[in-house]
Structure 1
Amino acid sequence: MGGTEHLTVDRHGATLVLTMNRPEAKNALSLPLLVGLYDGWLEADADDTVRSVVLTGAGGDFCAGMDLKALAGKGMEGDAYRDRLKADPDLHWKAMLRHHRPRKPVIAAVEGYCVAGGTEILQGTDIRIAGEGATFGLFEVRRGLFPIGGSTVRLPRQIPRTHALEMLLTGRPYGAGEAARIGLVGRVVPDGTALEAALETAERINACGPLAVEAVKASVYETAGLTETEGLAAELERGWPVFDTADAKEGARAFAEKRAPVYRRA
């Protein structure tokens, strides 16, 4: 498994857990963190034994966004990784899920601060679980900045436009309860239990047919910008091949035999 000094990688069964690990800075984005994130997404995609990914943060926070001290000219940590950024100038956008979509489901486990770039990364995840004390928001306009991690495009597609514009234009903080009410997160749990809840959700996903899970995720995103007629046609193209897999036959057989299915990605 990979990882850097600011991003740890662990396995929990078939789940890859990526932990943003810069707690002294509320996991503000650094070059080692971004490189570790991108490598984690690639590792999850390449390893067929990984069926889901959980993204979380160390020290009671998710991510406080870009390191504003670095942006002010004091330099971003991680000179040893600059060759990676030079080789792939798009790496930071891929790390933040702006220009990369993992084929495995990604579950965010949020505690504490998930603001600015943290809320932008959140929009690239599939399922979001937050501790009740979590804080969300896009603070960029308060600093004269632009939320260029994708929020002006993604947020109005994920929550009602009036809520998206209020979040984008006021830069105010949102508590977990309000974030759930407007649809930014799916579930709120007691503080300190978001990771546990995310891992439980991941286990439910892991018990399903992996080819089916990945096809369903792909279909949801592929059809998002299509008309209903176009989307339904694309869904058939993505969905019908799943019925011809050995895993589909195993699922039906296991149901008939009243046992847990054993899926082999075949």
Structure 2
Amino acid sequence: MSGTEHLTVERVGATLVLTLNRPEARNALSLPMLAGLHDGWLEADEDDAIRSVVLTGAGGAFCSGMDLKALHGTGPAADDACRARFKADPDLHWKAMLRHHRPRKPVIAAVEGPCVAGGTEILQGTDIRIAGESAVFGLFEVRRGLFPVGGSTVRLARQIPRTHALEMLLTGRPYTAAEAARIGLIGHVVPDGTALDRALETAALVNANGPLAVEAVKACVHDTAALDEAAGLALELERGLPVLGSADAKEGTRAFAEKRPAVYRRA
């Protein structure tokens, strides 16, 4: 499994758990963390035994955004090999932050504590979002005279009502977990300290389903988002009919009739 000093990787059943691991800096994004994230997404994409991914943070925090000290050369130094990777692929950090990469498997966010600036931007690349009661969200970039180039000026208004998206982007104010759930940024609010447990429970439900179906459904939802209804429905048939004709679909219906768990073979 991949991983760096700022990103830990663990396998829990068929779920890959990626943990942002700089608790002393509230998991602010560093080059080693971004490199580890990039590798984690690729590992999940390439390993068919992985059915889902959970993204979380260590030490009671999710992510406080980019390390502003690192932007000015005073933050933690990455080693030469890590810096060489970013030089060789100038797009690597955007892939890590899910701006220029969409994982094939469902990604479930388990949020505790701060999930702000770059944290809220990464969040928008996840599929299912669960947060502890004390979690805090927000896009603080304008407060520092910065621009949220992680995708928020495009994605946020497509995920939550436009008025709420613009308020979050233009005021730079913090949002509680309850408010984030009310406007649709997250799906569930749970007691503090239990977001990861709830995320793993949700991942287990996903993992029990047919992998071809799960991945095709996710891809179709994303790929039809910007299409008109007629074009979207046409793409749905293109994506869905092969799944309906698969051996896994036959196994799923047979298992239901026989009142037993299905054994899917990704075929």
TM range (shorter): over 0.9
How many residue pairs get aligned? The number is 266
1:6 equivalent to 2:6? Answer: yes
Query: Which one-letter code corresponds to 2:111 in the other structure?
Result: V
Q: Distance in 2 between matches of 1:77 and 1:173?
A: 30
**Is 1:32–1:77's contact at 8 Å kept on the other side of the alignment?**
no
- State the Cα deviation string for residues 208-251 of structure 1 (Å, max 9, x = none): 00000000000000100000000000000000000111100000
Q: TM-score, normalised by structure 1?
A: 0.99
- State the Cα deviation string for residues 148-197 of structure 1 (Å, max 9, x = none): 00000000000000000000000000000000000000000000000000
- The residue matched to 2:10 in structure 1 has which SS? strand
**Is 2:116–2:137's contact at 8 Å kept on the other side of the alignment?**
yes
Q: Distance in 2 between matches of 1:106 and 1:70?
A: 28
Q: TM-score, normalised by structure 2?
A: 0.99
Q: Distance in 2 between matches of 1:150 and 1:213?
A: 25
1:58 equivalent to 2:63? Answer: no
Query: Which one-letter code corresponds to 1:216 in the other structure?
Result: V
Gap runs ≥5 in structure 2:
none
Q: Distance in 2 between matches of 1:76 and 1:90?
A: 21
Q: Distance in 1 between matches of 2:3 and 2:130?
A: 23
Query: Which one-letter code corresponds to 1:39 in the other structure?
Result: D
Q: Sequence identity of aligned pairs in percent? A: 80
Question: What RMSD over aligned residues (CA atoms) do the two structures have, in Å?
Answer: 0.7
Q: Distance in 2 between matches of 1:184 and 1:207?
A: 26
Query: Which one-letter code corresponds to 1:147 in the other structure?
Result: P
- The residue matched to 2:73 in structure 1 has which SS? helix
The CA deviation at 1:6 is 0.3
The CA deviation at 1:79 is 2.6
**Is 1:20–1:62's contact at 8 Å kept on the other side of the alignment?**
yes
The CA deviation at 1:76 is 4.8
Q: Distance in 2 between matches of 1:50 and 1:243?
A: 22
Q: Distance in 1 between matches of 2:148 and 2:84?
A: 26
Aligned to 2:191: 190
The CA deviation at 1:71 is 1.8
Query: Which one-letter code corresponds to 2:48 in the other structure?
Result: D
Q: Distance in 1 between matches of 2:110 and 2:242?
A: 32
Query: Which one-letter code corresponds to 1:234 in the other structure?
Result: L
1:208-223 matched pairs, under 5 angstroms: 208-223=209-224
The CA deviation at 1:201 is 0.2
1:194-209 matched pairs, under 5 angstroms: 194-209=195-210
Aligned to 2:111: 110
Structure 1 residue runs of 4 or more that deviate by more than 4 Å after TM superposition: none
- State the Cα deviation string for residues 39-85 of structure 1 (Å, max 9, x = none): 00000000000000000000000000000111233255313301110
Aligned to 2:258: 257
**Is 2:10–2:18's contact at 8 Å kept on the other side of the alignment?**
yes
**Is 2:130–2:198's contact at 8 Å kept on the other side of the alignment?**
yes
Aligned to 1:231: 232
- State the Cα deviation string for residues 86-114 of structure 1 (Å, max 9, x = none): 11110000000000000100000000000
Aligned to 1:44: 44
Q: Distance in 1 between matches of 2:189 and 2:10?
A: 24
1:49-88 matched pairs, under 5 angstroms: 49-80=49-80, 81-88=82-89
**Is 2:107–2:127's contact at 8 Å kept on the other side of the alignment?**
yes
Q: Distance in 2 between matches of 1:222 and 1:76?
A: 38
Aligned to 2:162: 161
1:144 equivalent to 2:152? Answer: no
**Is 1:131–1:188's contact at 8 Å kept on the other side of the alignment?**
yes
1:96 equivalent to 2:82? Answer: no
